[in-house]
Amino acid sequence: MREIDYYFLQKDEPVKSCLLFLRDHILDYDEGITEAWKYRMPFYCYKGKMFCYLWTHKKNGLPYIGIVEGRKIDHPLLIQEERARMKIMLIDPTRDLPLETIGNILKTAIELYE
């Protein structure tokens, strides 16, 4: 089993299902997006450049989408915390995912690479 697959499968529900859905959603969003295992975490590259990643928050355990160039995006659901470059969007795995919002953020992030 690949490390990236193990990362997802070892999570407990409902976080596991949420992360697996986000994984598929990000990969299906644009044909230029590919998956890679970097820094011991699942990263998604757009045309070969690191674009976003999936992880869980240390303090509250919520899954999140990390946007590599997040500092360049002004969106109320993206939070910076102590990060210099990246911002994250926390996802509540017990609620319906805000797919339209996720799509808008992914679209804005992709535009930074074009």
8 A C-beta contact, residue 57 and residue 99: no
Residues 67-71: what's their mean pLDDT? 96
How far does CA 26 lie from the centroid of its chain?
Answer: 8
78: pLDDT strictly greater than 90: yes
Give the C-alpha separation, 96 to 32, whole Å.
Answer: 26
68: pLDDT strictly greater than 90: yes
User: Which CATH number describes the domain made up of 3-111?
Assistant: 3.90.1150.200
103: pLDDT strictly greater than 90: yes
Give the C-alpha separation, 53 to 50, whole Å.
Answer: 8
- Could you give the percent of the chain with pLDDT greater than 90? 94
Domains of the chain: which residue ranges? Answer: 3-111
Instruction: Count the Cβ atoms, other than its own, within 10 Å of residue 56.
Output: 17
Mean model confidence pLDDT for the chain: 96
C-alpha distance from residue 53 to each of 15, 91, 100 (Å): 15, 13, 18
